[in-house]
Amino acid sequence: MSRAGPLVEVEGVSKRFGSLTALDGVSAAFHAGEVSCVLGDNGAGKSTLIKILAGVHAPDEGTYRLDGEPVRFDSPRDALARGIATVYQDLAIVPLMSVWRNFFLGNEPTTGTGPFQRLDVTSAKRTAREEMAKMGIAVRDLDQPMGTMSGGERQSLAIARAVYYGARVLILDEPTAALGVKQAGNVLRHIVMAKRRGLAVILITHNPNHAYPVGDHFIILRRGRTDGDYRKEELPLGELMRSMAGGEDLEVLVEELEREAKETSDELLEETAQEIQEEIEGLRRIAPGEPG
């Protein structure tokens, strides 16, 4: 049985800011019920791509399709109205507000009419607890300030909030950055939960160790262009890590260091070149399921 067509697709998308080309002819397809990982180093074009998908920027060239139909969003609100939600690194939360208030934040349920309209606290708390529970998030006290929660818990709430408001496409911008191992693991678990609920999850990261366990599809960007587009079964972990480490760039660096070491008789440069070469060989040996 063949899978359905992509929920979201970009074809030949380019974006320029003055003389700077941030994206150059990037194509990618994102399917419902899958985690697509967009990887790349700083300056690879990841942020520009997600801002195009989220409606922040319009592409200068290329086509953006949703459900197979060309679309052009004028703002993030337009994209959100079509089911494309983005959770950025800085998150849209108010640290001094309670957990349940942050869950709704600007869309709080009310009861009563006219001058007697008021916040429906009971309904809001119940809904927040139920929706977070569906994503496997257990909160001890919904009245605790959001600022007292860990970074992983804040990311998890933001994911649950996007799902509750009808997201069909969930874009996550470096959700595990600056998190500890345990917190990162919890966030990755909630990403898998979102995938199982049928969302097309787009995970932006520079960490292959976080991407590989949850990813079904990997897009590697380098200097604004697509450097690779793979299904998981096509891409061993070692090759992904080598691509992320800039394997070819590292090999060129080794050659330059070795040449410089010979010309200057610098033993430190020679040792550095040997260490980098050992790292490259180590990456080549890594395979899925084997310890790195």
Q: pLDDT tens digits for 28-62?
A: 999 999 999 999 888 889 989 999 999 999 999 99
**DSSP character string of 36-75:** EEEE--TTSSHHHHHHHHTTSS--SEEEEEETTEE---SS
Q: Is 275 exposed, middle or buried (0-12, 13-18, 19+ CB in 10 A)?
A: exposed
| Per-residue pLDDT, 98 | 92
The Cα 279–Cα 238 span in angstroms is 11
What predicted TM-score, i.e. pTM, was given to this entire model? 0.80
Contact between 120 and 110 (Cβ < 8 Å): yes
Range with the poorest average pLDDT among 87-96, 165-174, 212-221 = 87-96
Range with the poorest average pLDDT among 79-88, 117-126, 200-209, 256-265 = 256-265
Angstrom distances, CA of residue 149 to CA of 5, 96, 99, 140, 219: 39, 11, 9, 11, 32
**DSSP character string of 189-202:** HHHHHHHHTT-EEE
Instruction: Mark out the alpha helices in the chain (DSSP H runs).
Output: 46-53, 76-81, 99-104, 121-134, 151-164, 181-196, 208-214, 237-244, 247-264, 267-285
> In which band, very low, low, confident or very high, does the pLDDT at 290 lie, cut at 50, 70 and 90?
very low
| Percent of the chain at pLDDT exceeding 70 | 86
3-state secondary structure 240-269: HHHHHCCHHHHHHHHHHHHHHHHHHCCHHH
Cβ neighbours around 12 below 10 Å, total = 13
Max avg pLDDT among 21-25, 105-109, 281-285: 21-25
Question: Residue 243 pLDDT > 50, yes or no?
Answer: yes
